[in-house]
């Protein structure tokens, strides 16, 4: 039996500062701790993750395109690019795998400029506002959607 395709978990600008950057908004967990939790959650479904972070928009586009060929789904926290990047929006639309937008905070409960998500307009769904648990819920959604689209049936 072949290994199931991985779930790509891609993180945008400033997420490398988690744990110290505005912990009252983003929590105290580091990105490395979130990666460990995501890997453990994916393992419960027999899946691996590819976990990456970049402050560079073009690198995120490249990884989305790579995921279109290699992943079953993508969990994307585009950070500030969520509200500004037509390039990421277009990449999400162009790849053939479902993308779950995720955020630690709830962007619509914050500043007005965060209320519009260019990523969300192209994504399969959005999980936001649950802190690091948002990532775990997005991993589960990515797995279930990938199973469904592969004809593997419902449930975990």
Please report, for the chain, the start and end positions of each structural domain, with discontinuous segments joined by +: 7-149
Q: What is the pLDDT along the chain (156 residues), one digit of tens a residue?
A: 567 899 999 999 999 998 887 667 776 889 999 999 999 999 999 999 999 999 999 999 999 999 999 999 999 999 989 988 999 999 999 999 999 999 998 777 667 766 678 999 999 999 999 999 999 999 999 999 998 887 654 444
pTM here? 0.91
Query: Known catalytic residues?
Result: 26, 103
Q: What is the dihedral of CA 40, 36, 6, 13, to 10 degrees?
A: 150
Q: Selecting from 3.40.50.9100, 3.40.440.10, 3.40.50.2000, 3.40.720.10, what CATH number does the domain 7-149 have?
A: 3.40.50.9100
Distance of CA 77 to the CA centre of its chain: 5
CA separation for the pair 24, 27 (Å, rounded): 6
Write out pLDDT tens, residues 18-32.
888 766 777 688 999
What is the pLDDT, as a whole number, of residue 149?
81
């Amino acid at each position: 039996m072949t290994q199931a395709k991985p779930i790509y978990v891609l993180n945008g600008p400033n997420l490398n500062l988690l744990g110290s950057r505005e912990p009252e908004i983003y929590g105290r967990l580091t990105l490395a701790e979130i990666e460990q939790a995501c890997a453990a959650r994916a393992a419960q479904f027999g899946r691996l993750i590819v976990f990456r972070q970049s402050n560079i928009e073009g690198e995120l586009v490249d990884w989305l395109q790579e995921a279109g060929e290699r992943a079953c789904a993508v969990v994307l926290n585009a950070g500030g690019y969520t509200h500004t990047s037509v390039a990421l929006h277009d990449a999400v639309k162009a790849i053939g795998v479902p993308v779950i937008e995720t955020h630690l905070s709830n962007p619509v409960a914050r500043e007005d400029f965060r209320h519009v998500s260019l990523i969300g307009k192209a994504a399969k769904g959005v999980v936001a506002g649950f802190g690091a648990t948002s990532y775990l819920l997005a991993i589960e959604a990515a797995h279930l959607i990938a199973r469904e689209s592969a004809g593997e049936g419902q449930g975990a």
